Amino acid sequence: MKRTATATACAAALFAAALTGCSDSTSDTAEEAYGSTPSASPSKPATVDTKSVDKLGAILTDEKGRTLYLFLADKKNKSNCTGDCAKAWPPLLSKGDAKAGKGVAQKLLDVTKRSGGDQQVTYNGHPLYYYAGDKKPGQTNGQALDQFGAEWYVLDAKGKQVES
């Protein structure tokens, strides 16, 4: 009985740490999840692509198939996600203008300057982000989450939020 209570307490502590973004590792951003650093200073232009995902249809991804999200608290071409928010939701950064991949309209792609000077990719005026809770390409664990003061959604190729 004591062992079960201890296991339950440990599981609850791990769950709470996951919800608050805490971890034992040295980094808790999407870079750990994908084995690369999607939000580090980029060395080339970012490419935005589309990928068909069950129940959501064709959604925006990066060139490696990692899901991209919009944040309802953002203003047109202006990110309102910094600090802890940007750790949980790393921005899609680009060196220079972003490129359109399969199914993406180049005319809807743009970049905007973040407060630190990095260039964040936007699509139809929405700054784009990864979700640190997505552990592999194609996952949409951030869909319809309400975090950091507003909801997060994947986008379709027209740059509109996709409802779950």
Q: What is the pLDDT of residues 95-122, one digit of tens each?
A: 999 999 999 999 999 999 999 899 999 9
The pLDDT, as a whole number, for residue 39 is 56
25-58 b/e (C-beta count within 10 Å ≥ 16 → b): eeebbbbebbeeebbeebeeebbbbbbebeebeb
Alpha-carbon distances, residue 3 vs 13, 115, 128 (angstroms): 15, 49, 45
Q: What's the pTM?
A: 0.79
- Average model confidence (pLDDT) across the chain: 83
- Amino acid at site 138: G
**Per-residue pLDDT at 85 exceeds 50:** yes
CA atoms within 13 A on the CB side of 11: 6
The SS3 of residue 115 is coil
Residue 5 has pLDDT above 50, yes or no: no
User: What is the percentage of the chain residues whose pLDDT exceeds 70?
Assistant: 76
Q: What pLDDT was estimated at residue 18?
A: 41
The reported pLDDT for the residue numbered 19 is: 39
Distance CA 49, CA 61 (A): 5
pLDDT in tens, 22-56: 333 333 444 444 445 465 678 999 999 999 998 99
